[in-house]
Amino acid sequence: MTILYHNSSQIIQVEDQGRLYKRGAEMSEIPILEKGWMLVENGKIIDLGSGKCPGCERYDESVDLQGKLVLPAFVDSHTHLVYAANREDEFAMRLSGKSYAEIAAAGGGILNSARKLAEAPEEALLHGAYHRLQDLMRMGTGALEIKSGYGLSTESELKMLRIVRQLKEKSGLDIKSTFLGAHAIPEKFKGNQEGYVNLVIDEMLPAIAEKSLADYVDVFCEEGYFNLDQSLRILEAAKAYGLSAKVHVNQFNSLGAIEAMVDMGALSLDHLEVMSPKEISYLADSQTIATALPGCSLFLDIPYAPGRAIIDEGGILALATDFNPGSAPGGNMALMMSLACTQMKLSTEEALVAATLNGAAAIEMSDEIGSLERGKWANFITLPPGFSLASIPYHFGHNLIMDLYLKGEKKL
Ligand SMILES: N=CN[C@@H](CCC(=O)O)C(=O)O
Ligand SMILES: [Zn+2]
């Protein structure tokens, strides 16, 4: 089945040389096809160009884009989409002056979500997550990563990862799953942190690997959660099962994780709100993707990751939502682009690369998605005629997305 998409105002390709990510100054160069057309065969782009399509008589169907703007669907490479309940009560506590750390210390936070998840039937969890997933799609997300981490027991972590698998099957979306058993120390292991780390390594990891339920491993490496040594032990153990690391680091404190985790070959280091100049340089010089989560900074009123400096030093920057019920209850990638531009001082081009190609690289899918090039899936979004790339971050909080096409098929 060959489909010709034609009559766009522009096709913003993001990349046209087959690069699997863009770093530093490359992030501001993005190829754009004026009055672009795209020929798609069985879901993959086989040709594309500007103006009239030469030799394009051979198609089964043609779609008139009526002057709409076309760009790659967003890739959200860091979410906690599966959870049992919102935490508006904690939000109210924060508004009256309590900090995220104080709420967590009083048994709220991740432990609150874990208690609720343990009680929730699988069907209800699937239903809630699927509903949120559809919301994300309406806002232009075409692929994402979802973490476990509200289980904190072997049984509940497996339950979460099974739901991620079901979400994949039910939605047909590209979804990568990450095992985050080391998200917090469960009540039962208070005072016995090492016991919990051993449980993650000796029981959870083998059980998850046996069922191939995870693509990646993650740890919340932070004061009051998992120290550097414990984090590295978990990541190394997971490596033996073929799981690469995507890690929560430097959200509130720097524990020296960046250097150590770059050296162990982490795929991405995420959060990064607190970074020293040395850490910025070390990460920017590496192949590890720096993933900024500006929704979390906005919602918790904490610093933004130094995205500008990471790009200026030549790093690979991705943007993701961190969608979760505690620190970032929102999944709008366009809003992440707005925050990246206004707060982290990225250009609109850099923000788009971070939200598409580099996000795809952060889930190892940038050979298939994240840009509109020959050989990639036709995963794209459209904006109404008259809008430009800059309109996306400019109209902060608005949803300008008209259509989402995945593998050349209109999803909405
Ligand atoms: N910081 C650790 N984990 C999540 C928040 C989890 C929660 O509060 O439920 C984050 O990425 O911000
Ligand atoms: Zn997170």
- Alpha-carbon distance 343 to 59, whole Å? 45
3-state secondary structure 82-126: CCCCCCHHHHHHHHCCCCHHHHHHCCCCHHHHHHHHHHCCHHHHH
Same domain, 170 and 87: yes
Amino acid residing at 397: G
How far does residue 55's CA lie from ligand 2's centre (Å)? 48
Query: Ligand 1 atom 12: the closest Cα is on which residue?
Result: 327
Ligand 1 pocket check: which of 87, 248, 252, 336 to mutate, most ligand atoms within 8 Å of Cβ?
248
Q: Ligand 1 pocket, 291 CB below 6 A?
A: no
Distance from Cα 292 to the centre of ligand 2, integer Å: 10
Question: In the prediction, which pLDDT does 369 show?
Answer: 99
**Single residue among 362, 379, 395 that ends a domain in this structure:** 362
* Spacing, Cα 361 to ligand 1 middle (Å): 22
Give the pLDDT score at 54.
85
Domain extent at residue 185: 74-362
DSSP letters spanning 309-331 = HHHHTT--EEE----BTTTB---
If asked whether residues 231 and 356 sit together in one domain, one would say yes
Question: Does 248 contact ligand 1 (Cβ within 6 A)?
Answer: yes
Question: 107 falls in which pLDDT band (50, 70, 90)?
Answer: confident
pLDDT of 292 above 90: yes
64 burial (CB, 10 Å; 0-12 / 13-18 / 19+) is exposed
End residue of a domain, out of 362, 380, 399: 362
Neighbours of 115 (CB within 10 A): 17
| Nearest bound ligand to the CA of residue 299 | 1
What pLDDT sits at residue 58? 82
pLDDT (0 to 100) of residue 245: 98
Q: 109 CB less than 6 Å from ligand 1?
A: yes
Note the ligand closest to the C-alpha atom of 328. Answer: 1
Ligand index nearest the alpha carbon of residue 94: 1
Handedness of CA 344, 345, 348, 349 (dihedral sign): negative
Same domain, 12 and 114: no
How far, in Å, is the centroid of ligand 2 from the Cα of 296?
9
Same domain, 13 and 30: yes
Give the pLDDT score at 397: 96
227 CB less than 6 Å from ligand 1?
no
Distance of alpha carbon 173 from alpha carbon 406, whole angstroms? 8
Name the domain count of the chain: 2
Nearest ligand 1 atom, CA 328: 12
Q: How far is the CA of 280 from the centre of ligand 1 (A)?
A: 22
State both tokens at 282.
């070390």
CATH of the domain at 374: 2.30.40.10
Is 326 marked as a binding-site residue? yes
Of the chain, the percentage scoring pLDDT greater than 90 comes to 97
Residues 253, 377 share a domain: no
In the prediction, which pLDDT does 148 show?
A: 98
Q: Is 271 helix (H, G, I), strand (E, B) or coil?
A: strand
Instruction: Please report the pLDDT score of residue 386 as a whole number.
Output: 97
- Residue 57: pLDDT band by 50, 70, 90 thresholds? confident
Cβ atoms 248, 147 nearer than 8 A: no
- Percent of the chain exceeding pLDDT 70 equals 100
Taking the CA of residue 110 as reference, the ligand 1 atom at the shortest distance is 9
Average pLDDT, the chain: 97
pTM of the model: 0.98
10 is in an annotated binding site: no
Name the token pair of 283.
Answer: 């990460």
Alpha carbon of 367 to ligand 1 centroid (Å): 29
| pLDDT value of position 66 | 97
Instruction: Confirm or reject: Cβ of 141 under 6 Å from ligand 1.
Output: no
> Has residue 136 got a pLDDT over 90?
yes
Q: Which ipTM value was assigned to this complex?
A: 0.99
Same-domain status, 15 and 129: no
**Cα 226 from chain centroid (whole Å):** 22
pLDDT in tens, 303-337: 999 999 999 999 999 999 999 999 999 999 999 99
Token pair in block for residue 72? 């790659």
How far apart are the CA of 48 and the centre of ligand 2, in A? 37
> Is 248 found in the same domain as 141?
yes
Is the domain of 81 the same as that of 169? yes
| pLDDT of residue 236 exceeding 90 | yes
What sign results for the dihedral spanned by CA atoms 224, 246, 233, 207? Answer: positive
* CA 305 – CA 65 distance, rounded (Å): 37
On whether both 52 and 126 belong to a single domain, the answer is no
**Are the C-beta atoms of residues 291 and 258 closer than 8 Å to each other?**
no
- Which helix (H) or strand (E) covers residue 54, if one does? none
- Over residues 31-41, mean pLDDT: 98
Instruction: Classify residue 159 as exposed, middle or buried by CB count within 10 Å of its CB (0-12, 13-18, 19+).
Output: buried
For 71-106, write each residue's pLDDT tens digit: 999 999 999 999 999 999 999 999 999 999 999 998
Q: Is the pLDDT of residue 56 over 90?
A: no
Do 67 and 96 reside in the same domain of the chain? no
A 10 A CB-CB count for 395 gives 15
Residue whose CB lies within 8 A of the most ligand 1 atoms, among 80, 178, 221, for a mutation test: 80
- Residue 246 structure tokens: 């995507």
Report the CATH number that the domain containing residue 84 is assigned in CATH. 3.20.20.140
- Residue 55, pLDDT above cutoff 90: no
Least confident of 18-22, 31-35, 106-110: 106-110
Do 198 and 327 share a domain, yes or no? Answer: yes
Residue 268: is it exposed, middle or buried by C-beta count within 10 angstroms (0-12/13-18/19+)?
Answer: buried
Report, as an integer, the average pLDDT of 60-67. Answer: 96
Whether residue 145 is found in the same domain as residue 61: no
Element (H, E) at 246: strand 244-249
pLDDT at 219 over 90: yes
Please give the pLDDT value at position 6: 96
pLDDT reported for residue 402: 98
Q: Is 398 annotated as a binding residue?
A: no
